[in-house]
Structure 1
Amino acid sequence: MPQPIVRTDRLLLVPLADRHLDLEVGLDSDPEVLRYLYGRARSRDEVVTSHAQRMSLAGRVDGLGYWMAFGSDDCAPGSTPPADEGEGTFVGLMMLPPAHGPDQPHDPAVSDLGYRLVRRHWRKGLASEASRALLRHAFDTVGQSRVIAQTMAVNTGSRRVMETIGMRYVRTFFPFWDDPLPGTELGEVEYEMTPAMWAAQCAAST
């Protein structure tokens, strides 16, 4: 099962491909976007390496991987997603690869939810909107047993998205960093969604 194109109320999510590399480079050129990941902008060479790793991960479990999100210029409430990525404005990178980090279970039935948006599209509810669609895909189509999301404890914006979409706090943990960012002393947090939680959430919304 290849990664599908996913549509939400305002977004078109297209599986990541080599043609998207320049958009990834532009996204990672904003140090604020990477404040809680790297604490700085990344070079093109660094992004090229990350792109290759993402493309490799996307082939490990059918249906899982990375998506590029496109929307209208302002993605205002009531706007509609573009019919094609060439007709839309780049919004960000949405992630649902198999869990693979050093502090994650290496289980093909567990995936890792993430999101990285162009700064001008922050605080519009787009990360939550896209994340709900990917959770639906994870449980209703791929059949995952668990979806996790991790971030720095001080990253209140990302944690707000996790809580908004109904994920449950699991733990705080303290990985070792060679070059720690400000706030790492407070640890990393992990949230989760399970099939039972997702089913209850869907039932409550109908």
Structure 2
Amino acid sequence: MQTGGRPGHDASVETERLTLRPLGPSDVDDLEALHADPEVMRFLDPEPVEHFLGDSFLAAHEKSGGRFVGWFEFKPLGDGVVELGYRLHPEFWGRGYATEGGKALIERGFTTGGVQRVVATTMFVNAGSRRVMEKCGLRHVRTFHVDWDEPLPGSEYGEVEYALTKDEWQQT
């Protein structure tokens, strides 16, 4: 893996099959197409595309062919804690890309970015995302409930938080 910079600050990451780089205005069409897919948004509330432009969100492209796979989030929350997130086109689900990108960001954060803890959340019913978090080394910390104005199907089961500390990561 090749990396540069610190998490969330103009850093690109290369994995075996992916190139991750900060999302920018040239990615708006790809973002809009990704967020227009009902399968992708099944467990998510829509947000304006502008929310994703900036240092905390990274566009993911296949190295072979350059196709837009989706995006990864590695957003500093303060005190050495970052939030890991990802959103991929369904055609790329089940190929290990989410795990590959997530692990690369975690490694970079813990080795060069001053990160002490990585957290991630999803709906309890989002089994695919929970599997990715577990494959990235994160462990279930808690299940909690949020009162949503317009709850999504499955929200009655709550949200889950997963986390991994630098100490835990170093022991693996």
TM-score, length-scaled by structure 1: 0.76
Residue number among 99, 121, 143 corresponding to 1:128 in the alignment: 99
**Does structure 1 residue 21 correspond to structure 2 residue 22?**
no
**Does structure 1 residue 98 correspond to structure 2 residue 76?**
yes
- 2:67 is aligned to 89
Following TM superposition, by how much is the alpha carbon of 1:108 offset from its aligned partner in structure 2, in angstroms?
4.3
Residue number among 143, 155, 158 corresponding to 1:184 in the alignment: 155
Tell me, which stretches of 5 or more residues in structure 2 are unaligned?
A: none
Residue identity matched to 1:180: P
- 1:139 is aligned to 110
Tell me, which stretches of 5 or more residues in structure 1 are unaligned?
A: 59-64, 72-80, 100-106, 202-206
**Partner Cα separation in structure 1 for residue 141 and residue 10 of structure 2:** 28
- 1:75 is aligned to none
Choose 1 or 2 for highest CA Rg: 1
CA-atom RMSD in angstroms: 1.5
**Does structure 1 residue 50 correspond to structure 2 residue 51?**
yes
- 1:67 is aligned to 58
**Partner Cα separation in structure 1 for residue 71 and residue 49 of structure 2:** 15
Higher strand share: 2
User: Partner of 2:125: helix, strand, or coil?
Assistant: coil
**Does structure 1 residue 164 correspond to structure 2 residue 164?**
no
User: Partner of 2:59: helix, strand, or coil?
Assistant: strand
**Partner Cα separation in structure 1 for residue 132 and residue 60 of structure 2:** 16
Count how many residue pairs are aligned between Structure 1 and Structure 2: 165
- 1:6 is aligned to 13
User: Partner of 1:113: helix, strand, or coil?
Assistant: strand
CA deviation vs aligned residue, 1:106-156 (integer Å, no higher than 9, x gap): x24211001100110010010000000000111111111111000000000
CA contact (8 A) 1:36 1:155 kept: yes
- Is the alpha carbon distance of 1:124 and 1:69 closer, same or farther for their aligned partners in structure 2, counting shifts above 3 Å? same
TM-score, length-scaled by structure 2: 0.90
Residue identity matched to 2:30: L
Higher helix share: 1
Percent identity between the two aligned chains: 44
**Partner Cα separation in structure 1 for residue 49 and residue 135 of structure 2:** 32
CA contact (8 A) 1:28 1:47 kept: no
CA contact (8 A) 1:98 1:112 kept: yes
